[in-house]
Amino acid sequence: MSRSDTGTDGEPVPAYDRVDVSVLVVGAGAAGARTAIELDDRGVEDVLVLGKRDHGDAHTTWARGGINGALGTHDPEDDWTIHAADTLNEGHFVNDPEKVETVARQMPERLRELDEWGMDYSRTDDGEIDQRFFGAQSFRRTAFAGDHTGESLLETLVEQAQDRSIPYRENVMITKLVSDGETLHGAIGYDMDTGEFVLFNTGTVVLAAGGYAAIYGRHTSRDDENNGDGPALAVDAGASLMDMEFVQFHPTGMAVDEDDPEWEPWSGRLVTEAVRGEGGRLFNTAGERFMERYSPDQMELDARDVVARAIAQEVSEGRGTENGGVYLDISHRDAEFIKERLPRMYERFQDLGVDMAEEPVEVAPTSHYGMGGVAVDEYGETDVDGLFAIGETMAGVHGANRLGGNSLAETVAYGVVAGERIAPRVDGPGEVPDRLVETLVEPHFRDLAATADSDGGYAVETVFEAVQEFTWEHAGLLRDEESLRDGLDALDDVREMAADMAVGPVTSRSFELALDVGFMLTAAEAVLRGALERTESRGAHYRTDYPETDESWQRNIYFERADLGGLTTHTEPVDEPSEAVQTALDEGHELDYHQLE
């Protein structure tokens, strides 16, 4: 249904289509797909899934190593309480214990369900779902499909959604949520192919839109993914964010010669943790297996924050490669084993002229995952009635440092939980109040139209990269007060640049990136403010001026939209785990790394 080009105030407004739908799922990766499947299975037919890319091209496919669940395939003594305990341990006890337990309880059933749906798991000789070691986990609980687990997971979920004929619309970007700060009434976006503006009239939105790792210069995401749009949309609508200062720098991104056009596009791209999980070893340029200095018990399979800082330390002390990295070597393994267990990694480096079975590869820390995100309750709902956030868009499961293999687990676990919560409440799309059409919807469409084809002094790509540069420089792996304050000053400078960009038409890449810049600036501000406020080191957040963990900081930092712009913060203490999980914590389970030697 099209609207006229005259607004409720009598002033011109760009034409836009109106779509009525009961539940709008924003994001078509594993979290969004699993939510839609759960809703359909519970009888909710009026659901629409939106994706910014072509169908099946979600960022889930970039997850390589595995998905956690205490099946006990190899280690029958493992169970969900130990999974939860490992997650809390590696989150440095600022996770939300209830959300952690929800994921850990759900996952054995979710893994078996995916198996029933035909997911292409790697198998044991007996035909069981195979499980591998993964960093900082006490047992082999990471199920996998070679080193393309995310791709296989999404293919399975998309097939299930298609079997159910769940409506899907691709290449649509949401730019604003329609909210009065207390209740959600809809969402605004545009068709990236046609340039058509759209108002989605809905009483329930599920944000499954990924995280914010790509606000950094060296990262494992595509530049047009994980730019913080989910958290930025939510906080603008009146929801809170939480723990945005906790950004995981994966230890092993590709360290490349960025002057080499063949290698440059691969800078920072993920070398899956599965390489270390299958026995890969880290060496500096002196030939030392340096993890013996930093973690003699767990070695390369210690938590990601520990390994990332160890690599950074080696490089800073002059034992790194010319490309600012170290060497990851799995050549002691049989070539056929590597090709079977790590096929995508092997093929990638083979295409670049490197044989992983014969020689090491260069790796360095790279921005990989935002542990923070939108603050939600135990069902994934925000403070704004009708607005949910799940997957990497939500906060709470991972605390200060995500356990490898838990990201995919979170997507399917909370897809089910959110779907269960939403289904009995669905009673139709509702109606966007006239006052919000006049004060929010129509002004936003005017803003979008004014942004398109606008003149300015800065290219959008220049401003986009400026965000990534100051975030990496001032809120990266090693932080201190002076640098963080300088980062906030740089943020203000880039905001001024963003107000003076030359932008192309609505269907252009520059228009999309211009919108991304706005989302990225919100996420970057939250990271900087949270990192400045948290005067301790904990997990992935490392302050060189406060290098110790402070027990009084076992608190979460919340961020809200300020009345005059920007963000305000407050803190709240973390809840206690259940008795069952506390027992598992007290038992002190830990991986015997040397089983891999």
Burial 327-357 (b: 16+ CB within 10 A, else e): bbbbbebeeeebbebbeebbebbeeeebebb
Q: How far apart, in whole angstroms, are the C-alpha atoms of residue 393 and residue 407?
A: 11
Nearest alpha carbon to residue 233 among 212, 203, 202: 212
For the chain, the farthest-separated pair of C-alpha atoms sits apart, in whole angstroms, at: 74
- Residue 572 phi/psi, 5-degree rounding, is -140, 145
Catalytic residue among 3, 185, 276, 444: 276
Residues ≥6 apart with Cβ < 8 Å to 393: 27, 31, 207, 208, 209, 210, 211, 230, 231, 234, 373, 374
- Tokens for 68, please give them: 């956690």
Q: 């996998």: which residue's tokens?
A: 144
| Dihedral angle sign, alpha carbons of residues 532, 533, 536, 541 | negative
- In degrees to the nearest 10, what's the CA dihedral of 164, 167, 171, 173? -120
Catalytic residue at 534?
no
**CB neighbourhood size of 548 (10 A):** 9
At CA 216, angle to CA 214 and CA 220, rounded to 5? 50
**CB neighbourhood size of 477 (10 A):** 20
Q: Return contacts of 36-39, CB within 8 angstroms, 24+ apart.
A: 36/161, 36/166, 36/419, 37/157, 37/160, 37/161, 37/164, 37/166, 37/415, 37/419, 38/415, 38/416, 38/418, 38/419, 38/420, 38/423, 39/419, 39/422, 39/423, 39/426
DSSP label at residue 100: H
Residues ≥6 apart with Cβ < 8 Å to 110: 69, 409, 412, 413, 416
Please check whether residue 300 is in contact with residue 282, taking contact to mean a CB–CB distance below 8 angstroms: yes
Catalytic residue at 398?
no
Q: How far apart, in whole angstroms, are the C-alpha atoms of residue 577 and residue 105?
A: 14
Nearest alpha carbon to residue 207 among 241, 181, 182: 241
Q: Return contacts of 157-163, CB within 8 angstroms, 24+ apart.
A: 157/30, 157/33, 157/34, 157/37, 157/117, 157/412, 158/33, 158/55, 158/56, 159/117, 159/118, 160/33, 160/37, 160/117, 161/33, 161/36, 161/37, 161/40, 161/49
- Tokens for 162, please give them: 């298609």
What DSSP assignment string belongs to 55-70? TT--GGGG--S-EE--
**Bridging pattern class, strands 23-26 and 47-50:** parallel
Residues ≥6 apart with Cβ < 8 Å to 359: 329, 331
Catalytic residue among 250, 304, 341, 541: 250
Catalytic residues: 250, 276
